[in-house]
């Protein structure tokens, strides 16, 4: 299969524009196959008009029909075989096992949402039956469920070319919700996006979904991305990436005549609180944190970028143990040359801050395209004063904040920005003593975890990947797990609705056997 | 009891400022008792600092403790007795039966949220137990539930001095969620607010909740309101009122360093689609719509401000019948002189639009403080072109849009702005024929109702009061019914959390017997 570089305007390929971009191998600088045609304003409009028309049809598809569609997308992605893996390897510089795992996750997410639809209860069907004889006023028959919002715009992430990109969690959850999707491909892995988009379009056709249910366009965020976000047809935005780009989209969407929700999952430094007892086995702790800090060249949104501890003799031993572990880490190729460059700049800026000392670094410097692991330390009193120390350094970097005493520890915690995760390391016997610190930490994060590392995000019902600003633009939602579907739906109440117009989920006969709240009680029964 | 006019800064009364306002009887222009001291910047800060500290304690209160607190507020409001009813009558010009009903609704809402907390399942507890032997990677123990956001700012509404004000739905749902509340009193019924705030503070003390769990301040939206919305401690805003004021708050909150969700329920004209068969009994239809248009001087957010129908001989008869009904309506005193003035201006502007004709009006002109009922009509072709015709005229006004044919009807529907409600009138046999129009209408509203009038909002689980912009700033939430609590919570995931730190709702032993999703299945059992 050759890479054609065209946009997917609904089911049609299109390359009307005169701008394009190629992708270059990070080390050899040789162009990979494909010249990616940036979508013109006309192409973007056409995709969104198609999406609007598709919504009218797609929103009426049953949950089962949407489940089959998602399962077919998963199949078609697997059908791409090794061609997909090879392309994404060459575009992302990530190793094969990681990418095979990520493909598994991507396909798994599609199937997870298909299962959610087959089960069906997620729509929160709620029925209050009529009370015609109630005094002083009768009650109408009221039935509510979650219904799709409309067309969703998805921006691909750089660090997950499969799982947070073309057919990633945002697309899967929006399609599951009943919303057509337009994807803006990431310029660093556009070939991967093309292959996956092709698989989705095959599924659109096989499942007889209307053209416009899915589109994918190439182009810059500033031109194509902005046009999409400002288009009347678009009802919501899903984004994973930098705080800067996420906030640009968020602010832009708020300048619309009709503002729309932008769910942006942005930066996080994922603070890890080491209670004194966590340092009982400094060697083990150092090994597991060195591993997590440098996993995937530190290019995970849950990378432990901040460690907070009370000053202690054992902390000095931990620092030495950590230094030994970090020294051994081989620099790894980063996702792109721009990310490698940004890592060096941001890391240099971070360690140049007042009072900051490097306490551990990899022995090998590595090539220009590689990220060299570094851990620095700073006093709690400096950290509280200097917000720059809370800026994410995307890559294998972490900062240890050493607190003089418990008061300073509480100040460090309360000064934290919103985070995706917060971690507590320590023995059970110390948890009660530090409970107020742990509760304060909970206020800052979407997920609080104990005696583990924050990297590794399980895709399941109970996952929360999102958190108080600036980790995400709206802490009330998640971008990972089945809860992600809630971003793209809204409750609609049907009052005294004739049965022929009532969605299946709300009819007296509960033929889907979903869990519903009927007259104050949960039930899977028919009325 | 005399009206002191002071602010409630947590449990303390305070009047440090040099600005104040009085409230005047709409007809006699005589000042009512009370001189309402506008909160100073210092007082507002103090209230919010107290709220921040209170959050640390209040969020840890059990659902049962919060339920008792809400029930105690309800009791204390009833304990105010007739003094409250008399004060709100004199401030709002609404009749006693309406206000006794509204007090019942207010107290009912508090009890409804108390019942929701006593039942407890609303927290959406979701548990995925550990799979230590899973290959290739084990799964951690993950448990998620909804947790309070933080301090909530509530702005009182003018048209519901009790049910959407000091102890109204926003306050009740925020306190139920575990969030401290700061209320900005409405300047047209500040005495009512003072009495109700006093009742809430009694409950705070009786239930041993921390001072700062509730505060109420007087002052202008532009000064005091802005200061609250911009304060770091505030995590969310609840507002019901005009599009203009709602959008000011919404935009302001987005200029914060950390933007916060503003749930503003703003204007709606509540389109009512009359299918041809709806006109089989024009007399009955005219009587019910004349009643709904003029109910409470048209000062309901679900007032039917727009009727859409196909041109037809029977529509001509309906217009005459409606005219007869509207003629009989006695002008009623409006909520305030500024609302009465705005009604006259907005109504005059509406009927001066090109192609608009008055088809029905009350015979009596009424006093300057009263709203005179008027219904106008306009051709569908004019309506599509002129967005001014979609502006809400708050008062007893409605516009009939007469469509030439079905194409024009579809254009009128698709041109509609987002709405709180949409209504379909017609016989069952016509519903299928018009299903595509009805589905198009569903896209525009939070609640779609059949063969009824939109006024009358049931407070229950299945209510949706909110809708696509500009009806509300976020269609994914409701401000009426138990769902309103979801505005002020966020999911938090606890990973491998020691049982002593785990909220009761997530522990193995399900002592609250709440419905939880455990390993993909819903269950009320313990693990």
Interface of B with A in 143-182 (CB under 8 A): 143-144, 147, 149-150
Q: What is the CATH number of the domain that holds B126?
A: 3.40.605.10
Do B450 and A474 lie within an 8 Å CB cutoff?
A: no
Helix, strand, coil tally for chain B in percent (to 5):
40, 20, 40
Residue among B447, B452, B490 minimizing CB distance to A476: B490
**CB contacts, 8 Å: B127 with chain A:** 462
User: Does B463 contact A at CB distance below 8 Å?
Assistant: yes
What does the pLDDT read at residue A1? 61
- The dihedral sign for the CA sequence A424, A425, A431, A435: negative
Q: Are residues A219 and A280 in the same domain?
A: no
8 A C-beta contact, residue A458 and residue B128: yes
Beta bridge pairs of residue B495: A449, B142
Q: Are residues B278 and B410 in the same domain?
A: yes
Q: Which two tokens stand for residue A467?
A: 């958190």
Q: Is residue B148 in some structural domain?
A: yes
Pairing of strands A370-371, A332-333: antiparallel
Do A490 and B498 lie within an 8 Å CB cutoff?
A: no
What does the pLDDT read at residue A123? 98
Do A458 and B128 lie within an 8 Å CB cutoff?
A: yes
Mutation for A interface: B493, B498, B516, most A CBs within 10 A: B493
d(CA B125, CA B143): 7
Q: Are residues B222 and B357 in the same domain?
A: no
**CB contacts, 8 Å: B101 with chain A:** 136
What does the pLDDT read at residue B2? 87
Do A493 and B447 lie within an 8 Å CB cutoff?
A: yes
Mutation for A interface: B108, B498, B500, B514, most A CBs within 10 A: B498
Residue B27 — very low, low, confident or very high, per pLDDT cuts 50/70/90? confident
What does the pLDDT read at residue B96? 96
Q: In angstroms, how far is CA B429 from the centroid of its own chain?
A: 35
User: Does A449 contact B at CB distance below 8 Å?
Assistant: yes
Beta bridge pairs of residue B214: B181
Q: Are residues B133 and B259 in the same domain?
A: yes
User: Does A458 contact B at CB distance below 8 Å?
Assistant: yes
Query: Which of these ranges, A240-249, B200-209, B410-419, B483-492, has the smallest mean pLDDT?
Result: A240-249
Query: Which of the 8 DSSP states describes residue B238?
Result: E
Do B261 and A432 lie within an 8 Å CB cutoff?
A: no
User: Does B304 contact A at CB distance below 8 Å?
Assistant: no
Q: Please tell me which residue of chain B has the smallest CA distance to A124.
A: B462
Residue among B450, B476, B493 minimizing CB distance to A490: B476
Is the link from the previous residue into B136 a cis peptide, with omega within 30 of 0? Answer: yes
**CB contacts, 8 Å: B128 with chain A:** 458, 460-462
Closest by CA position to A6, among listed A46, A50, A53, A43:
A43
Q: Exactly one of B76, B91, B265, B392 is catalytic; name it.
A: B265
Residue A449, min C-alpha distance to chain B (Å) = 4
Residue among B431, B494, B500 minimizing CB distance to A501: B431
Q: Is residue A149 in some structural domain?
A: yes
Pairing of strands B516-518, B521-523: antiparallel
Do B476 and A261 lie within an 8 Å CB cutoff?
A: yes
Do A490 and B446 lie within an 8 Å CB cutoff?
A: yes
Q: Is residue A334 in some structural domain?
A: yes
User: In sequence order, what DSSP letters do the residues of B16-60 get, joined into one string?
Assistant: --S-EE--B-TTT-PBPS--EEBPPHHHHHHHHHHHHHHHHHHTT
Q: Are residues B224 and B362 in the same domain?
A: no
Do A128 and B460 lie within an 8 Å CB cutoff?
A: yes
Q: Which two tokens stand for residue B222?
A: 């532009």
User: Does B501 contact A at CB distance below 8 Å?
Assistant: yes
Q: What is the CATH number of the domain that holds A310?
A: 3.40.309.10
Mean pLDDT (whole number) for B206-218: 98
**CB contacts, 8 Å: A418 with chain B:** 258
Distances (CA, A) of A313 to A287, A320, A430, B28: 19, 11, 18, 78
The domain of B111 spans: 43-266+478-486
Task: Starting at the earlier edge strand, list the strands of the sheet with B151-155.
Answer: B12-14, B7-9, B214-217, B181-184, B151-155, B234-240, B262-265
d(CA B460, CA A412): 43
Reported as type and span, the H/E element at residue B439 is helix B435-442
Using DSSP's 3-state secondary structure scheme, residue B470 falls into coil
Pairing of strands B12-14, B7-9: antiparallel
Indicate the number of domains in chain A: 2
8 A C-beta contact, residue B524 and residue B517: no
8 A C-beta contact, residue B216 and residue B180: no
pLDDT at B1 over 70: no
Q: Are residues A364 and A239 in the same domain?
A: no
**CB contacts, 8 Å: A428 with chain B:** 498, 500
Q: Exactly one of A76, A91, A248, A265 is catalytic; name it.
A: A265
Extended strands (E) in A191-254: 214-217, 234-240
Q: Is residue A284 in some structural domain?
A: yes
- What count of residues does chain B have? 527
Distances (CA, A) of A159 to A38, A476, B77, B486: 22, 24, 55, 32
What does the pLDDT read at residue B176? 98
What does the pLDDT read at residue A26? 86
- Tell the residue number behind the tokens 């306009």, with chain if given: B378
Q: Is residue B235 in some structural domain?
A: yes
Q: Are residues B160 and B207 in the same domain?
A: yes
ipTM for the complex?
0.97
* pTM of the predicted model as reported, rounded to 2 decimal places: 0.96
User: Does A474 contact B at CB distance below 8 Å?
Assistant: yes
Pairing of strands A489-495, A142-148: antiparallel
Using DSSP's 3-state secondary structure scheme, residue A398 falls into strand
Catalytic residue status for A497: no
Q: Is residue B120 in some structural domain?
A: yes
- The dihedral sign for the CA sequence A219, A222, A225, A228: negative
8 A C-beta contact, residue A266 and residue A248: no
Q: Exactly one of B301, B325, B370, B392 is catalytic; name it.
A: B301
Q: Are residues B218 and B363 in the same domain?
A: no
Do A497 and B446 lie within an 8 Å CB cutoff?
A: no
Q: Is residue A37 in some structural domain?
A: no
Q: Are residues B303 and B220 in the same domain?
A: no
Q: Which two tokens stand for residue B52?
A: 């921040």
Residue B309, min C-alpha distance to chain A (Å) = 19
Closest by CA position to B254, among listed A444, A247, A230, A242:
A247
Q: Note the pLDDT tens digit of each residue in B69-96.
A: 999 999 999 999 999 999 999 999 999 9
**CB contacts, 8 Å: B137 with chain A:** 456
Residue among B140, B435, B493 minimizing CB distance to A446: B493
Q: Which two tokens stand for residue A145?
A: 């469920």
Q: Is residue B248 in some structural domain?
A: yes
d(CA A313, CA A276): 10
Q: Are residues A210 and A358 in the same domain?
A: no
Using DSSP's 3-state secondary structure scheme, residue A320 falls into helix
Residue B26 — very low, low, confident or very high, per pLDDT cuts 50/70/90? confident
What does the pLDDT read at residue A461? 96
What does the pLDDT read at residue B382? 98
Q: Are residues B295 and B196 in the same domain?
A: no
User: Does B108 contact A at CB distance below 8 Å?
Assistant: no
8 A C-beta contact, residue B348 and residue B356: no
d(CA A443, CA A288): 26
- The dihedral sign for the CA sequence B240, A247, A148, B147: negative
Interface of A with B in 372-431 (CB under 8 A): 418, 428, 431
Residue B476, min C-alpha distance to chain A (Å) = 4
Closest by CA position to A259, among listed B431, B421, B472, B519:
B472
Residue A428, min C-alpha distance to chain B (Å) = 7
Do A443 and B496 lie within an 8 Å CB cutoff?
A: no
Do B493 and A517 lie within an 8 Å CB cutoff?
A: no
Residue among B101, B446, B501 minimizing CB distance to A431: B501
Q: Are residues B402 and B284 in the same domain?
A: yes
Do A439 and B56 lie within an 8 Å CB cutoff?
A: yes
Beta bridge pairs of residue A151: A234
Q: Please tell me which residue of chain A has the smallest CA distance to B520.
A: A461
Catalytic residue status for A265: yes
Residue among B438, B466, B492 minimizing CB distance to A446: B492
Averaged over successive runs of 10 residues, the pLDDT of chain A (527 residues) comes to 93 97 91 97 98 96 97 98 96 94 97 98 98 93 98 96 97 98 97 98 98 98 96 97 93 94 94 97 97 94 97 97 96 92 96 97 92 97 97 96 98 97 96 95 97 94 96 96 98 97 97 97 96
């Amino acid at each position: 299969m050759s890479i054609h570089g065209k946009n997917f305007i609904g089911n049609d390929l299109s390359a009307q524009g005169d701008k394009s971009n190629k992708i270059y191998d990070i080390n050899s600088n040789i162009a990979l196959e494909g010249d990616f045609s940036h979508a013109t304003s006309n192409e973007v409009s056409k995709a969104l008009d198609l999406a609007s028309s598709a919504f009218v049809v797609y929103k009426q598809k049953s949950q089962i029909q949407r489940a089959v569609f998602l399962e077919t997308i998963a199949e078609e992605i697997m059908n791409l075989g090794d061609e997909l893996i090879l392309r994404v390897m060459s575009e992302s510089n990530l190793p094969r096992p990681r990418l095979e795992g990520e493909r598994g996750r991507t396909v798994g997410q599609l199937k997870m949402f298909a299962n959610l639809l087959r089960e069906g209860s997620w729509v929160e069907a709620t029925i209050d039956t009529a009370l015609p004889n109630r005094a002083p006023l009768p009650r109408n028959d009221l039935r509510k469920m979650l219904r799709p919002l409309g067309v969703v715009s998805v921006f691909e992430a750089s660090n997950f070319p499969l799982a947070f990109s073309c057919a990633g969690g945002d697309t899967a959850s929006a399609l599951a919700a009943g919303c057509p999707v337009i994807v803006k491909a990431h310029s660093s892995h556009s070939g991967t996006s093309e292959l996956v988009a092709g698989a989705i379009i095959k599924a659109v056709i096989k499942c007889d979904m209307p053209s416009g249910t899915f589109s994918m366009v190439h182009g810059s965020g500033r031109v194509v991305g902005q046009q999409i976000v400002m288009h009347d047809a678009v009802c919501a935005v899903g984004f994973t990436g930098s705080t800067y780009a996420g906030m640009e989209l968020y602010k832009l969407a708020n300048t619309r005549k009709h503002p729309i929700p932008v769910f942006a999952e942005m930066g996080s430094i994922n603070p890890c609180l080491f209670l004194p007892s966590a340092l009982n086995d400094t060697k083990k702790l150092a090994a597991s944190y060195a591993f997590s800090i440098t996993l995937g060249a530190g290019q995970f949104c849950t990378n432990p970028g901040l460690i907070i501890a009370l000053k202690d003799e054992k902390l000095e031993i931990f620092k030495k143990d950590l230094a030994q572990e970090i020294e051994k880490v081989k620099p790894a190729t980063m996702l792109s040359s721009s990310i490698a460059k940004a890592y060096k700049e941001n890391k240099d800026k971070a360690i140049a801050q007042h009072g900051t000392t490097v306490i551990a670094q990899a022995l090998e410097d590595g090539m220009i395209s590689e990220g060299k692991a570094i851990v620095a330390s700073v006093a709690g009193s400096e950290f509280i004063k200097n917000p720059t120390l809370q800026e994410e350094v995307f890559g294998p970097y972490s900062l240890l904040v050493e607190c003089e005493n418990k008061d300073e520890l509480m100040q460090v915690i309360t000064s934290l920005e919103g985070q995706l995760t917060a971690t507590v390391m320590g023995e059970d016997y110390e948890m009660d003593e530090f409970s107020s610190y742990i509760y304060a930490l909970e206020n800052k994060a979407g997920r609080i975890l104990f005696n583990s590392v924050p990297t590794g995000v399980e895709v399941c019902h109970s996952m929360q990947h999102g958190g108080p600003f600036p980790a995400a633009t709206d802490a009330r939602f998640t971008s990972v797990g089945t809860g992600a579907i809630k971003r793209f739906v809204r409750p609609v109440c049907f009052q005294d609705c004739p049965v022929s117009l009532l969605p299946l989920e709300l009819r007296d006969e509960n033929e889907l056997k979903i869990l519903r709240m009927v007259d104050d009680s949960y039930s899977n029964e028919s009325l």
